[in-house]
Structure 1
Amino acid sequence: MLFDVQQSRDEAIKDSQSVFGKYKPVALKVKPVKATLLQEFHVQRMITGDPLEDMLELPTNPSDFVDSERYNQERKGIIDKNHPEGFLWPEERKLIHELMKLQEKAFTWEPLEEGNFRTDFFPPVKFPVLPHVPWVERNIPISPGIYAEICKIIKDKIDAGVYEPSSSSYRSKWFCVLKKDGKSLWLVHSLEPLNRVTIQYSGVPSATAEVANHFAGRACLGLLDIWVGYDERLIDEESRDLTTFQTSFGPHRLVKLPMG
């Protein structure tokens, strides 16, 4: 597929979506294989002790704001801007800032601050795959209108430890779509070949009505905007080669569990 070198960013994104589509019909989804799952591939949670034992207590009378290592005046201003006067009482606002300062490592403001679950609680994930021949898939060329932006996204993920160099014989495709904000680009890894040889996890979701009944009369909590919702678990070293893809910086592979 050829691209016009004078192509605008919007035209480039439209071309990319015309090739891959933003959403895939259910009938075209590639599903994992039903087979016996060996013990070594069972998902484990090994939480020992009380993880909240050393959590700092919130003060009843929070003091005036002072910058900390990560939560500074600039970032405080972002929170204030999104919670206009009248939404919270002044003391409630101070308490929010005190909480965010005490738990500042739980909040990410830039790629280099991304974290993941503790590996002693949540061991790296192994992919349960059947015997297969390595696959090699080629990407379509990146449109000039979004080339620099795509390179920056990839570089940020390399710097954040989400991608690492690879020399494996696998190559999977990837592409980009627009996020819900209508501006930002989102890289999607097309791991269909991996799905074809992966043993399916046969979890059956609970009945919605039954789950909802358990929340009746409970306290409701809010959720802040998620920086990324799929990088919390590490991939085991033995499985990372299966996710290798080609970039302008050479072949790389995923370090953290992808979406899907």
Structure 2
Amino acid sequence: MDHQILAAKYKSVLKKVRPVNEPMPQDLNPPLERPPLSRDPYETPLSPNPPIFQETLKVTNERLQAVSCGPPGWLSNEEINLLKNIITLREKEIDFCEEERGLLKHSYGKPYKIPVIPHEPWQKKPIPIPKSILPQFTELIRERITTGLYAQSTSSYTSTIFCVAK
């Protein structure tokens, strides 16, 4: 007979989080707009005999190793060559690293707004970052700010950050 042990840390009533049942305003975040197609995809179908893949400045064999083509033997060599050619044709739309990543155009959709209810902002003391990883951590944060993944905040909140090596 299998036994499960469920262990949870005791939380006092003062620390209990109570969700608020509030309806989400329907007009707050309009749906994303589908981008117009630059061409009719059915007008120019894929070639049944694509040329042999040739590397470009952006699409290299090293970068294509990161693209999963399923388990070994799932795609034939011809199908893998076709996939490589499609990736080469669409190389402007594919990013292989953070520096190449862009943001969604505002013509497709505005930034998402999350409504909040009036409340007292919480503040938590940050967990100290070990001196041994501080330079790497600082570089990571600067890189993510540069690429637009993180943005400067004017929020009333402070949050703890806990660094874990992966």
TM class by shorter chain equals 0.5 to 0.7
The gaps in structure 1 that reach 5 residues or longer are 1-23, 179-183, 185-260
Q: Match of 2:133, SS?
A: helix
Work out whether residues 46 and 121 of structure 1, in 8 Å CA contact, stay in contact via their aligned partners in 2: yes
Q: How does 1:15-94 map to 2 (within 5 A)?
A: 30=17, 32-41=19-28, 43-47=29-33, 51=37, 53-55=39-41, 57-79=45-67, 86-94=73-81
Q: How does 1:244-255 map to 2 (within 5 A)?
A: none
How far the C-alpha of 1:31 sits from its partner, in A, is 5.9
- Report the residue type matching 1:64 in the other structure: I
Distance 1:80 1:136 in 2: 42
Deviation string 1:143-185 (CA, Å, 9 cap, x unpaired) is 234333322321221121011234554322232446xxxxx2x
Q: Which has the higher contact order (CA 8 A, sep 6+)?
A: 1
Deviation string 1:59-91 (CA, Å, 9 cap, x unpaired) is 22111223335212432355599876x553322
Q: Match of 2:53, SS?
A: coil
Work out whether residues 136 and 172 of structure 1, in 8 Å CA contact, stay in contact via their aligned partners in 2: yes
Match of 2:162 among 153, 165, 175: 175
Match of 1:151 in 2: 138
Distance 1:143 1:32 in 2: 35
Q: TM-score, with normalisation over the residues of structure 2? A: 0.67
Match of 2:4 in 1: none
Work out whether residues 135 and 171 of structure 1, in 8 Å CA contact, stay in contact via their aligned partners in 2: yes
Work out whether residues 138 and 171 of structure 1, in 8 Å CA contact, stay in contact via their aligned partners in 2: yes
Match of 2:85 among 88, 95, 98: 98
Q: Match of 1:174, SS?
A: coil
Alpha-carbon distance change, 57 to 150 in structure 1, aligned in 2, over 3 angstroms: farther
Q: TM-score, with normalisation over the residues of structure 1? A: 0.46
The gaps in structure 2 that reach 5 residues or longer are 1-7
Work out whether residues 101 and 147 of structure 2, in 8 Å CA contact, stay in contact via their aligned partners in 1: yes
Work out whether residues 67 and 73 of structure 1, in 8 Å CA contact, stay in contact via their aligned partners in 2: yes
Deviation string 1:167-224 (CA, Å, 9 cap, x unpaired) is 554322232446xxxxx2xxxxxxxxxxxxxxxxxxxxxxxxxxxxxxxxxxxxxxxx
Distance 1:60 1:29 in 2: 61
How far the C-alpha of 1:129 sits from its partner, in A, is 0.8
Pick the structure with more strand per residue.
1
Distance 1:113 1:29 in 2: 42
